[in-house]
Protein backbone atom coordinates (compact mmCIF):
# COMPACT_ATOMS: atom_id res chain seq x y z
CA UNK A 1 0.00 0.00 0.00
CA UNK A 2 2.95 2.32 0.63
CA UNK A 3 3.95 4.36 -2.41
CA UNK A 4 7.58 5.40 -2.70
CA UNK A 5 7.27 8.99 -3.89
CA UNK A 6 9.50 12.02 -4.24
CA UNK A 7 10.68 13.34 -0.88
CA UNK A 8 8.03 15.25 1.09
CA UNK A 9 9.50 18.64 1.97
CA UNK A 10 8.50 21.19 4.56
CA UNK A 11 8.36 24.84 3.46
CA UNK A 12 11.89 25.54 4.71
CA UNK A 13 13.21 22.43 2.86
CA UNK A 14 15.20 21.66 6.01
CA UNK A 15 15.92 19.06 7.28
CA UNK A 16 15.92 16.80 4.22
CA UNK A 17 14.54 13.47 5.46
CA UNK A 18 13.34 10.42 3.62
CA UNK A 19 10.04 8.82 4.62
CA UNK A 20 7.48 6.78 2.69
CA UNK A 21 4.38 8.67 1.66
CA UNK A 22 1.00 6.95 1.91
CA UNK A 23 -1.79 8.98 0.27
CA UNK A 24 -5.16 8.61 2.02
CA UNK A 25 -8.23 9.01 -0.19
CA UNK A 26 -10.91 8.08 2.33
CA UNK A 27 -10.96 8.19 6.11
CA UNK A 28 -11.49 4.42 5.94
CA UNK A 29 -7.97 4.07 4.42
CA UNK A 30 -6.78 4.61 7.99
CA UNK A 31 -5.45 2.71 9.87
CA UNK A 32 -3.57 1.03 7.00
CA UNK A 33 -4.26 -2.73 6.73
CA UNK A 34 -0.69 -3.73 7.38
CA UNK A 35 0.67 -1.26 9.89
CA UNK A 36 4.35 -0.50 9.36
CA UNK A 37 6.58 -1.04 12.39
CA UNK A 38 8.16 2.38 11.87
CA UNK A 39 6.26 5.50 13.06
CA UNK A 40 3.54 7.31 11.12
CA UNK A 41 2.57 10.99 10.90
CA UNK A 42 -0.35 12.72 9.15
CA UNK A 43 0.73 15.62 6.95
CA UNK A 44 -1.17 18.39 5.20
CA UNK A 45 0.27 20.81 2.67
CA UNK A 46 3.80 20.87 4.11
CA UNK A 47 3.59 24.60 4.84
CA UNK A 48 5.26 24.22 8.22
CA UNK A 49 8.79 25.55 7.97
CA UNK A 50 10.68 22.86 9.88
CA UNK A 51 10.23 19.29 11.00
CA UNK A 52 6.81 19.08 12.70
CA UNK A 53 5.57 17.64 9.40
CA UNK A 54 8.56 15.36 8.78
CA UNK A 55 9.69 11.88 9.73
CA UNK A 56 12.89 10.00 9.08
CA UNK A 57 12.33 6.36 8.12
CA UNK A 58 8.60 6.24 8.71
CA UNK A 59 5.32 6.74 6.86
CA UNK A 60 3.78 10.12 6.17
CA UNK A 61 0.00 9.88 5.83
CA UNK A 62 -0.72 12.40 3.05
CA UNK A 63 -4.17 13.91 3.62
CA UNK A 64 -4.55 16.34 0.71
CA UNK A 65 -7.00 14.02 -1.11
CA UNK A 66 -9.33 14.14 1.92
CA UNK A 67 -10.65 17.45 0.64
CA UNK A 68 -14.44 17.03 0.44
CA UNK A 69 -16.94 19.49 1.86
CA UNK A 70 -19.57 17.58 3.82
CA UNK A 71 -22.10 20.16 5.03
CA UNK A 72 -22.65 23.92 5.12
CA UNK A 73 -25.17 25.77 7.27
CA UNK A 74 -25.48 29.25 5.72
CA UNK A 75 -27.62 30.58 8.57
CA UNK A 76 -24.94 29.84 11.17
CA UNK A 77 -21.90 30.02 8.84
CA UNK A 78 -20.78 26.53 9.93
CA UNK A 79 -18.82 24.37 7.50
CA UNK A 80 -17.96 20.70 7.91
CA UNK A 81 -15.17 19.49 5.66
CA UNK A 82 -12.51 16.84 5.50
CA UNK A 83 -9.19 17.76 7.07
CA UNK A 84 -7.20 17.83 3.82
CA UNK A 85 -9.24 20.74 2.40
CA UNK A 86 -7.15 23.90 2.18
CA UNK A 87 -8.08 27.36 3.39
CA UNK A 88 -7.81 28.45 -0.27
CA UNK A 89 -10.51 25.91 -1.21
CA UNK A 90 -12.68 27.07 1.69
CA UNK A 91 -12.35 30.71 0.59
CA UNK A 92 -13.28 29.79 -2.98
CA UNK A 93 -16.46 28.21 -1.62
CA UNK A 94 -17.21 30.71 1.13
CA UNK A 95 -16.52 34.14 -0.44
CA UNK A 96 -19.32 33.98 -3.06
CA UNK A 97 -21.66 32.92 -0.22
CA UNK A 98 -20.69 35.95 1.88
CA UNK A 99 -18.35 34.26 4.36
CA UNK A 100 -14.68 34.46 5.32
CA UNK A 101 -12.38 32.48 7.62
CA UNK A 102 -12.60 33.43 11.29
CA UNK A 103 -8.80 33.09 11.55
CA UNK A 104 -6.26 32.84 8.75
CA UNK A 105 -2.46 32.67 8.82
CA UNK A 106 -0.24 34.45 6.26
CA UNK A 107 -0.81 31.76 3.63
CA UNK A 108 -4.07 30.21 2.45
CA UNK A 109 -2.32 27.12 1.10
CA UNK A 110 -2.58 25.14 4.33
CA UNK A 111 -5.02 22.39 5.23
CA UNK A 112 -7.66 22.41 7.95
CA UNK A 113 -5.81 19.51 9.64
CA UNK A 114 -2.57 21.54 9.64
CA UNK A 115 -4.42 24.62 10.95
CA UNK A 116 -5.76 22.60 13.90
CA UNK A 117 -2.56 20.67 14.60
CA UNK A 118 -0.54 23.91 14.96
CA UNK A 119 -3.50 25.94 16.29
CA UNK A 120 -2.54 28.70 13.86
CA UNK A 121 -3.03 32.40 14.50
CA UNK A 122 -3.65 35.39 12.27
CA UNK A 123 -3.64 39.19 12.25
CA UNK A 124 -6.79 39.22 14.42
CA UNK A 125 -5.36 37.21 17.31
CA UNK A 126 -5.71 40.19 19.68
CA UNK A 127 -9.51 40.06 19.24
CA UNK A 128 -10.48 36.49 18.39
CA UNK A 129 -7.59 34.23 19.44
CA UNK A 130 -6.43 31.18 17.51
CA UNK A 131 -7.99 28.92 14.85
CA UNK A 132 -8.93 26.37 17.53
CA UNK A 133 -11.34 28.83 19.16
CA UNK A 134 -13.50 28.71 16.03
CA UNK A 135 -13.49 24.95 15.79
CA UNK A 136 -16.73 23.29 16.88
CA UNK A 137 -15.74 19.64 16.66
CA UNK A 138 -13.68 17.13 14.71
CA UNK A 139 -13.20 13.40 14.35
CA UNK A 140 -9.93 11.87 15.57
CA UNK A 141 -8.86 8.45 14.29
CA UNK A 142 -6.41 6.47 16.39
CA UNK A 143 -4.11 3.76 15.05
CA UNK A 144 -5.94 1.09 17.11
CA UNK A 145 -9.09 1.82 15.08
CA UNK A 146 -10.82 3.90 17.78
CA UNK A 147 -12.77 6.93 16.43
CA UNK A 148 -13.28 9.86 18.78
CA UNK A 149 -15.70 12.72 18.23
CA UNK A 150 -14.03 15.66 19.93
CA UNK A 151 -15.54 18.99 20.99
CA UNK A 152 -15.41 21.19 24.10
CA UNK A 153 -18.20 18.98 25.52
CA UNK A 154 -17.34 15.55 24.07
CA UNK A 155 -13.94 14.02 24.79
CA UNK A 156 -12.75 17.49 25.82
CA UNK A 157 -9.32 16.22 26.89
CA UNK A 158 -8.69 14.89 23.35
CA UNK A 159 -10.03 18.14 21.88
CA UNK A 160 -7.51 20.06 23.99
CA UNK A 161 -4.59 17.75 23.24
CA UNK A 162 -5.21 17.59 19.47
CA UNK A 163 -5.50 21.38 18.96
CA UNK A 164 -1.84 22.38 18.70
CA UNK A 165 -0.95 18.67 19.10
CA UNK A 166 1.26 18.63 15.98
CA UNK A 167 -0.43 15.59 14.46
CA UNK A 168 0.73 13.30 17.25
CA UNK A 169 -2.60 12.39 18.87
CA UNK A 170 -4.09 10.71 15.78
CA UNK A 171 -5.45 11.52 12.34
CA UNK A 172 -8.08 14.26 12.12
CA UNK A 173 -10.47 13.08 9.39
CA UNK A 174 -12.96 15.99 9.31
CA UNK A 175 -13.69 19.17 11.21
CA UNK A 176 -16.49 21.64 11.70
CA UNK A 177 -15.47 25.31 11.71
CA UNK A 178 -17.29 28.60 12.17
CA UNK A 179 -16.93 31.16 9.37
CA UNK A 180 -17.63 34.88 9.68
CA UNK A 181 -19.92 36.91 7.40
CA UNK A 182 -18.59 39.55 4.98
CA UNK A 183 -20.26 41.80 2.39
CA UNK A 184 -17.18 42.68 0.34
CA UNK A 185 -13.74 41.32 -0.59
CA UNK A 186 -12.29 44.69 0.31
CA UNK A 187 -10.32 45.58 3.42
CA UNK A 188 -10.29 49.14 4.73
CA UNK A 189 -6.53 49.59 5.18
CA UNK A 190 -4.27 51.94 7.08
CA UNK A 191 -0.45 51.80 6.99
CA UNK A 192 1.59 53.87 9.47
CA UNK A 193 5.36 54.19 9.48
CA UNK A 194 7.04 53.87 12.85
CA UNK A 195 10.54 53.93 14.28
CA UNK A 196 11.31 51.90 17.39
CA UNK A 197 9.43 49.38 19.49
CA UNK A 198 7.83 51.96 21.75
CA UNK A 199 6.07 53.53 18.80
CA UNK A 200 5.04 50.05 17.57
CA UNK A 201 3.52 49.19 20.97
CA UNK A 202 1.75 52.57 21.16
CA UNK A 203 0.27 52.02 17.66
CA UNK A 204 -0.83 48.49 18.60
CA UNK A 205 -2.54 49.75 21.75
CA UNK A 206 -4.29 52.55 19.83
CA UNK A 207 -5.47 49.97 17.26
CA UNK A 208 -6.69 47.46 19.86
CA UNK A 209 -10.20 47.55 18.38
CA UNK A 210 -9.04 47.30 14.78
CA UNK A 211 -9.89 43.85 13.43
CA UNK A 212 -6.48 43.07 11.94
CA UNK A 213 -3.09 44.44 12.97
CA UNK A 214 0.46 43.44 12.06
CA UNK A 215 3.76 45.21 11.37
CA UNK A 216 6.54 44.66 8.89
CA UNK A 217 9.91 45.37 10.47
CA UNK A 218 13.17 46.43 8.81
CA UNK A 219 15.59 44.39 10.90
CA UNK A 220 18.66 45.53 8.93
CA UNK A 221 18.35 49.28 9.68
CA UNK A 222 20.61 50.58 12.44
CA UNK A 223 21.23 53.78 14.39
CA UNK A 224 18.33 56.19 14.41
CA UNK A 225 16.40 53.88 12.05
CA UNK A 226 16.70 50.85 14.38
CA UNK A 227 13.44 48.85 14.51
CA UNK A 228 11.67 50.95 11.91
CA UNK A 229 8.72 49.49 10.10
CA UNK A 230 5.19 49.84 8.78
CA UNK A 231 2.24 49.16 11.08
CA UNK A 232 -0.70 47.80 9.10
CA UNK A 233 -4.27 47.64 10.27
CA UNK A 234 -7.44 46.64 8.49
CA UNK A 235 -11.14 45.88 8.78
CA UNK A 236 -13.52 44.09 6.45
CA UNK A 237 -15.32 46.78 4.47
CA UNK A 238 -19.01 47.18 5.32
CA UNK A 239 -19.86 48.62 1.86
CA UNK A 240 -21.47 45.76 -0.12
CA UNK A 241 -19.51 44.79 -3.29
CA UNK A 242 -19.65 41.75 -5.63
CA UNK A 243 -18.23 38.68 -3.88
CA UNK A 244 -16.30 37.10 -6.74
CA UNK A 245 -13.92 34.18 -6.13
CA UNK A 246 -10.17 34.82 -6.54
CA UNK A 247 -8.21 34.01 -9.67
CA UNK A 248 -5.56 31.31 -9.16
CA UNK A 249 -1.97 32.54 -8.70
CA UNK A 250 -0.13 32.36 -12.01
CA UNK A 251 3.46 33.18 -11.07
CA UNK A 252 5.80 30.44 -9.91
CA UNK A 253 9.32 31.20 -8.73
CA UNK A 254 11.26 29.42 -11.47
CA UNK A 255 14.66 28.51 -10.00
CA UNK A 256 16.58 27.93 -6.79
CA UNK A 257 18.57 31.16 -6.38
CA UNK A 258 22.26 30.78 -5.57
CA UNK A 259 23.21 31.36 -1.93
CA UNK A 260 25.00 34.67 -2.54
CA UNK A 261 21.82 36.31 -3.92
CA UNK A 262 20.48 36.95 -0.42
CA UNK A 263 23.04 38.95 1.50
CA UNK A 264 22.92 41.87 3.94
CA UNK A 265 23.34 44.31 1.02
CA UNK A 266 20.49 42.96 -1.15
CA UNK A 267 18.19 42.58 1.87
CA UNK A 268 19.09 46.09 3.12
CA UNK A 269 18.27 47.48 -0.32
CA UNK A 270 14.95 45.61 -0.45
CA UNK A 271 14.05 46.82 3.05
CA UNK A 272 14.90 50.45 2.27
CA UNK A 273 12.78 50.31 -0.91
CA UNK A 274 9.89 48.62 0.93
CA UNK A 275 9.98 51.10 3.81
CA UNK A 276 10.08 54.05 1.43
CA UNK A 277 7.42 52.81 -0.99
CA UNK A 278 5.02 54.54 1.37
CA UNK A 279 6.20 58.14 1.34
CA UNK A 280 3.77 59.67 3.82
CA UNK A 281 3.74 58.77 7.52
CA UNK A 282 0.25 57.39 7.04
CA UNK A 283 -1.58 55.84 4.08
CA UNK A 284 -5.23 54.78 4.00
CA UNK A 285 -7.45 53.15 1.38
CA UNK A 286 -9.16 49.95 0.32
CA UNK A 287 -7.31 46.81 -0.74
CA UNK A 288 -8.47 43.38 -1.83
CA UNK A 289 -8.21 40.73 0.88
CA UNK A 290 -5.70 38.66 -1.16
CA UNK A 291 -2.73 41.11 -1.00
CA UNK A 292 -3.73 42.13 2.53
CA UNK A 293 -3.70 38.61 4.01
CA UNK A 294 -1.57 36.66 1.55
CA UNK A 295 1.04 38.92 -0.07
CA UNK A 296 3.45 35.98 -0.47
CA UNK A 297 0.91 33.60 -2.02
CA UNK A 298 0.93 35.53 -5.30
CA UNK A 299 4.22 33.83 -6.23
CA UNK A 300 4.06 30.06 -5.89
CA UNK A 301 7.16 28.30 -4.51
CA UNK A 302 8.72 31.58 -3.34
CA UNK A 303 10.80 29.53 -0.89
CA UNK A 304 13.14 28.84 -3.84
CA UNK A 305 14.49 32.39 -3.36
CA UNK A 306 16.49 30.88 -0.51
CA UNK A 307 18.19 28.35 -2.76
CA UNK A 308 18.64 24.62 -2.33
CA UNK A 309 19.90 24.83 1.25
CA UNK A 310 16.55 26.25 2.29
CA UNK A 311 15.32 28.61 4.98
CA UNK A 312 14.15 28.57 8.52
CA UNK A 313 11.91 30.88 10.40
CA UNK A 314 12.47 32.00 13.93
CA UNK A 315 9.22 32.92 15.66
CA UNK A 316 9.04 33.66 19.33
CA UNK A 317 6.60 35.32 21.70
CA UNK A 318 7.83 37.33 24.67
CA UNK A 319 5.18 37.88 27.36
CA UNK A 320 4.47 41.35 28.76
CA UNK A 321 5.58 40.57 32.29
CA UNK A 322 9.14 39.66 31.28
CA UNK A 323 10.48 42.88 29.74
CA UNK A 324 8.98 42.29 26.32
CA UNK A 325 10.52 45.25 24.58
CA UNK A 326 14.03 44.69 25.95
CA UNK A 327 13.75 41.01 24.93
CA UNK A 328 12.81 41.92 21.36
CA UNK A 329 15.62 44.52 21.24
CA UNK A 330 18.15 41.91 22.41
CA UNK A 331 16.94 39.52 19.71
CA UNK A 332 17.23 42.19 17.02
CA UNK A 333 20.71 43.14 18.22
CA UNK A 334 21.81 39.49 18.18
CA UNK A 335 20.58 39.22 14.58
CA UNK A 336 22.46 42.36 13.51
CA UNK A 337 25.62 41.08 15.22
CA UNK A 338 25.37 37.74 13.38
CA UNK A 339 25.57 39.43 9.97
CA UNK A 340 22.57 37.39 8.77
CA UNK A 341 19.82 39.42 7.16
CA UNK A 342 16.08 38.77 7.02
CA UNK A 343 13.74 40.66 4.75
CA UNK A 344 10.64 39.02 6.11
CA UNK A 345 10.33 40.23 9.67
CA UNK A 346 6.92 40.50 11.22
CA UNK A 347 5.86 41.92 14.60
CA UNK A 348 2.46 41.49 16.19
CA UNK A 349 0.87 41.94 19.57
CA UNK A 350 -0.93 38.78 20.74
CA UNK A 351 -4.10 39.31 22.75
CA UNK A 352 -5.26 37.60 25.91
CA UNK A 353 -7.90 35.24 24.49
CA UNK A 354 -6.88 31.84 25.91
CA UNK A 355 -5.78 29.29 23.31
CA UNK A 356 -7.77 26.04 23.52
CA UNK A 357 -4.85 23.68 22.91
CA UNK A 358 -2.64 22.16 25.56
CA UNK A 359 0.48 23.04 23.53
CA UNK A 360 -0.84 26.09 21.62
CA UNK A 361 1.88 28.66 21.00
CA UNK A 362 0.28 32.12 21.44
CA UNK A 363 0.20 33.94 24.76
CA UNK A 364 -0.21 37.66 25.58
CA UNK A 365 2.87 39.61 24.52
CA UNK A 366 4.77 40.49 21.35
CA UNK A 367 5.51 37.89 18.70
CA UNK A 368 8.40 38.35 16.27
CA UNK A 369 8.88 36.19 13.17
CA UNK A 370 11.87 36.32 10.81
CA UNK A 371 12.92 34.19 7.84
CA UNK A 372 16.61 33.32 7.48
CA UNK A 373 18.53 31.48 4.80
CA UNK A 374 20.21 28.35 6.13
CA UNK A 375 23.95 28.94 6.34
CA UNK A 376 24.73 25.96 8.61
CA UNK A 377 27.12 27.22 11.30
CA UNK A 378 26.08 30.89 11.26
CA UNK A 379 22.32 30.43 11.25
CA UNK A 380 22.33 27.51 13.70
CA UNK A 381 24.49 29.42 16.20
CA UNK A 382 22.14 32.40 15.81
CA UNK A 383 19.03 30.26 16.33
CA UNK A 384 20.49 28.85 19.52
CA UNK A 385 21.33 32.35 20.77
CA UNK A 386 17.81 33.60 19.97
CA UNK A 387 16.26 30.61 21.75
CA UNK A 388 18.34 31.37 24.85
CA UNK A 389 17.27 35.04 24.86
CA UNK A 390 13.65 33.93 24.43
CA UNK A 391 13.97 31.61 27.42
CA UNK A 392 15.56 34.32 29.58
CA UNK A 393 12.54 36.51 28.88
CA UNK A 394 9.96 33.85 29.76
CA UNK A 395 8.91 33.41 26.13
CA UNK A 396 8.61 30.46 23.77
CA UNK A 397 9.30 29.43 20.19
CA UNK A 398 6.65 28.30 17.69
CA UNK A 399 7.12 24.59 16.73
CA UNK A 400 5.42 25.16 13.33
CA UNK A 401 8.39 27.28 12.26
CA UNK A 402 11.17 25.42 14.02
CA UNK A 403 13.80 22.79 13.24
CA UNK A 404 16.49 23.71 15.77
CA UNK A 405 15.05 23.96 19.30
CA UNK A 406 16.90 21.62 21.63
CA UNK A 407 15.11 19.17 23.93
CA UNK A 408 15.87 21.20 27.09
CA UNK A 409 14.68 24.38 25.36
CA UNK A 410 11.38 22.82 24.22
CA UNK A 411 10.75 21.30 27.63
CA UNK A 412 11.34 24.66 29.31
CA UNK A 413 9.11 26.52 26.80
CA UNK A 414 6.33 23.93 27.08
CA UNK A 415 6.44 22.41 30.59
CA UNK A 416 3.00 20.87 29.94
CA UNK A 417 4.59 18.57 27.34
CA UNK A 418 4.63 15.61 29.75
CA UNK A 419 0.87 15.85 30.25
CA UNK A 420 0.50 16.10 26.45
CA UNK A 421 2.69 13.02 25.91
CA UNK A 422 -0.05 10.85 27.46
CA UNK A 423 -2.25 11.54 24.41
CA UNK A 424 0.35 10.74 21.74
CA UNK A 425 -0.73 7.80 19.58
CA UNK A 426 1.79 5.00 20.26
CA UNK A 427 2.26 4.48 16.49
CA UNK A 428 2.78 8.18 15.72
CA UNK A 429 5.86 10.37 15.91
CA UNK A 430 7.61 13.17 14.04
CA UNK A 431 11.18 14.30 13.52
CA UNK A 432 10.32 17.30 15.71
CA UNK A 433 8.94 15.14 18.54
CA UNK A 434 11.89 12.74 18.43
CA UNK A 435 14.28 15.70 18.67
CA UNK A 436 12.59 17.62 21.48
CA UNK A 437 11.85 14.64 23.74
CA UNK A 438 15.11 12.76 23.24
CA UNK A 439 16.53 13.47 26.72
CA UNK A 440 13.34 12.63 28.55
C1 LIG B 1 4.09 31.87 3.99
C2 LIG B 1 3.66 31.27 5.29
C3 LIG B 1 3.01 32.07 6.21
C4 LIG B 1 2.58 31.53 7.43
N5 LIG B 1 1.94 32.35 8.31
C6 LIG B 1 1.52 31.86 9.50
C7 LIG B 1 0.79 32.69 10.40
O8 LIG B 1 0.54 33.87 10.15
N9 LIG B 1 0.34 32.12 11.56
C10 LIG B 1 0.56 30.79 11.86
O11 LIG B 1 0.11 30.34 12.91
N12 LIG B 1 1.25 29.99 11.00
C13 LIG B 1 1.72 30.50 9.84
N14 LIG B 1 2.38 29.67 8.95
C15 LIG B 1 2.60 28.26 9.33
C16 LIG B 1 1.47 27.35 8.84
O17 LIG B 1 0.22 28.01 8.97
C18 LIG B 1 1.41 26.10 9.73
O19 LIG B 1 2.67 25.47 9.74
C20 LIG B 1 0.34 25.10 9.29
O21 LIG B 1 0.18 24.16 10.31
C22 LIG B 1 0.69 24.39 7.98
O23 LIG B 1 -0.38 23.53 7.63
P24 LIG B 1 -0.22 22.39 6.53
O25 LIG B 1 -1.55 22.00 6.03
O26 LIG B 1 0.78 22.82 5.52
O27 LIG B 1 0.32 21.20 7.43
P28 LIG B 1 1.78 20.48 7.54
O29 LIG B 1 2.78 21.56 7.53
O30 LIG B 1 1.84 19.46 6.46
O31 LIG B 1 1.62 19.82 8.93
C32 LIG B 1 1.55 20.62 10.08
C33 LIG B 1 1.18 19.78 11.29
O34 LIG B 1 -0.16 19.35 11.13
C35 LIG B 1 -0.26 17.95 11.31
N36 LIG B 1 -1.38 17.50 10.49
C37 LIG B 1 -1.64 17.82 9.20
N38 LIG B 1 -2.80 17.24 8.81
C39 LIG B 1 -3.27 16.56 9.87
C40 LIG B 1 -4.43 15.73 10.07
N41 LIG B 1 -5.34 15.52 9.12
N42 LIG B 1 -4.60 15.16 11.28
C43 LIG B 1 -3.70 15.38 12.28
N44 LIG B 1 -2.60 16.15 12.13
C45 LIG B 1 -2.39 16.72 10.93
C46 LIG B 1 1.11 17.42 10.89
O47 LIG B 1 1.40 16.19 11.50
C48 LIG B 1 2.03 18.52 11.39
O49 LIG B 1 2.36 18.32 12.74
C50 LIG B 1 2.83 30.16 7.73
C51 LIG B 1 3.49 29.35 6.79
C52 LIG B 1 3.90 29.89 5.59
C53 LIG B 1 4.62 29.02 4.59
Instruction: Show the 3-state SS of 317-379.
Output: EEEHHHCHHHHHHHHHHHHHHHCCCCCCEEEEEECCCCCCCCCCCCCCEEEEEEEEECCHHHH
Percent residues over pLDDT 70 in the chain: 97
**Lowest model confidence (mean pLDDT) among 76-80, 116-120, 235-239, 372-376:** 372-376
> Which residue has its alpha carbon closest to ligand 1 atom 19?
48
DSSP β-ladder status, 212-218 and 171-181: unpaired
Higher pLDDT, 388 or 251: 388
Ligand 1 pocket, mutate which of 23, 24, 42, 117 (most atoms under 8 A from CB): 117
* pLDDT score of 355 more than 70: yes
Gap from CA of 254 to ligand 1 centroid (Å): 24
- pLDDT of amino acid 439: 64
For the chain, the C-alpha Rg in angstroms (whole number) is 21
Higher pLDDT, 97 or 438: 97
Which atom of ligand 1 approaches the CA of 131 most closely?
A: 11
* pLDDT score of 174 more than 90: yes
428 lines ligand 1 (CB under 6 A): no
- pLDDT of amino acid 251: 76
DSSP β-ladder status, 345-350 and 365-373: antiparallel
52 lines ligand 1 (CB under 6 A): yes
What backbone torsions phi and psi does residue 237 show, to the nearest 5 degrees?
A: -65, 140
3-state secondary structure of 289: helix
Gap from CA of 440 to ligand 1 centroid (Å): 26
162 lines ligand 1 (CB under 6 A): no
Gap from CA of 33 to ligand 1 centroid (Å): 27
Gap from CA of 208 to ligand 1 centroid (Å): 27
* Of 293, 391, 297, 390, the residue nearest 346 (C-alpha): 293
* pLDDT score of 2 more than 90: no
> Which residue has its alpha carbon closest to ligand 1 atom 49?
166
> Which residue has its alpha carbon closest to ligand 1 atom 44?
167
> Which residue has its alpha carbon closest to ligand 1 atom 13?
105
**Lowest model confidence (mean pLDDT) among 99-108, 269-278, 404-413:** 269-278
400 lines ligand 1 (CB under 6 A): yes
Which atom of ligand 1 approaches the CA of 48 most closely?
A: 19
- Average pLDDT of the residues in 18-27: 96
- pLDDT of amino acid 429: 98
pLDDT-based confidence at 1, cuts 50/70/90?
Answer: very low
| Average pLDDT, rounded, for the chain | 93
Question: Using one digit for the tens of pLDDT, what is the confidence trace for 252-307?
Answer: 777 777 766 777 777 777 777 778 778 889 999 999 999 999 988 988 888 888 88
* pLDDT score of 46 more than 70: yes
Amino acid sequence: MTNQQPRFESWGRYPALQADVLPLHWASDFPPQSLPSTPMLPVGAGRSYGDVCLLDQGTLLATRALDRFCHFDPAAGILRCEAGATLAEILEFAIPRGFFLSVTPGTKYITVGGAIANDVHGKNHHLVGTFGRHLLRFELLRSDGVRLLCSPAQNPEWFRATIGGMGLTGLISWAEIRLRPIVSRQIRYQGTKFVGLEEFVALSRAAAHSEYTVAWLDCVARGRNFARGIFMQGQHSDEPRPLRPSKPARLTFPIDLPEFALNPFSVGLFNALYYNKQLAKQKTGFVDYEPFFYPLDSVLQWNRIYGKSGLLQFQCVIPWEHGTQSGIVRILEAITASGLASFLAVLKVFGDKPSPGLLSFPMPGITLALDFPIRQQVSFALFDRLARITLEHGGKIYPAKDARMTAPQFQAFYPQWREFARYVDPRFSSAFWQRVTQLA
